[in-house]
Amino acid sequence: MSRPRTKQDEASARESIYALLSRSVLLEPTDNLLSAILEKRVLRELAPRVKGEKDVPRPVLEDTVIEFNTLFIVPGTLYVKPFESVYLDTEGETGGQVLGKSTHAVESMYMETGVALPTSFPEPHDHIGVELGFMELLCRREAEELGKRDDDAVRRTRDIQRKFIDKHLAKWITQLCDKIRSSTTNPLYLEVAGAMESFILSERDRLGTEDV
């Protein structure tokens, strides 16, 4: 008989989901990523709002690598600008451009919380993959604090998570995922878009009502 799932287990599971989602939009796909998302259905099991039970066909890896670059790297007609500022900073002459006020807002929050992001990533830090990576690190911190039974620290960390999702991720995730869905027919990225939107919105709802 398996032991009951603890809050520390849940925080670690959330960390794993954020890590998988972050890597899926930051790095070229691998066979392992295809298996994790399409075969093992990790995201579908852990992101309850993802709809549909039909098997997802496995795309050719080489084609999926090309699709990743088309969607997230190379500007073109199908390029999905994966930056918060593009979707939220829409006013003024520079509206809809990268490096807007949202970029500076998320960077300030990273610094305030003391979470160290990789310095090697060349893109602005309001990239969806970086924002998901920030939540990954916060969930890891939460799991460590739960292990130490430090309820005050856990409460502070969850408050940061709640604030970041409310002020940032939840505000633009649907627009971004709609753009991905309109730009690709690749099964991997359709699955990623559905799971990413589902998970972030479920996190918003859960963190808005849950106590330590």
Tell me the domain boundaries of the chain. Answer: 7-209
Mean pLDDT, range 112-121, rounded to an integer: 76
Angle between helices 128-147 and 187-209 (to 10 degrees): 50
Report pLDDT digits (tens) over 39-80. Answer: 766 555 555 555 555 667 889 999 999 999 999 999 999 999
Q: Are 69 and 79 in contact (CB under 8 A)?
A: no
**Tokens 């699709």 belong to which residue?**
67
Mean pLDDT of the chain: 87
More confident residue, 177 or 118: 177
Beta carbons of 59 and 190 less than 8 angstroms apart: no
- Can you name the CATH fold of 7-209? TorD-like (1.10.3480)
Task: Report the range of poorest mean pLDDT among 36-40, 85-89, 93-97, 178-182.
Answer: 93-97
Q: What confidence score (pLDDT) does residue 4 get?
A: 67
- At 125, give phi and psi (nearest 5°): -80, 10
Q: Which of 34, 133, 80, 64 is nearest to 43 (CA)?
A: 34
Checking if the pLDDT of 94 tops 50, the result is no
The reported pLDDT for the residue numbered 74 is: 95
What is the reported pLDDT for 2?
A: 56
Quick: pLDDT tens for 141-169. 999 999 999 999 999 999 999 999 999 99
Among candidates 116, 136, 123, 107, which has minimal Cα distance to 26? 123
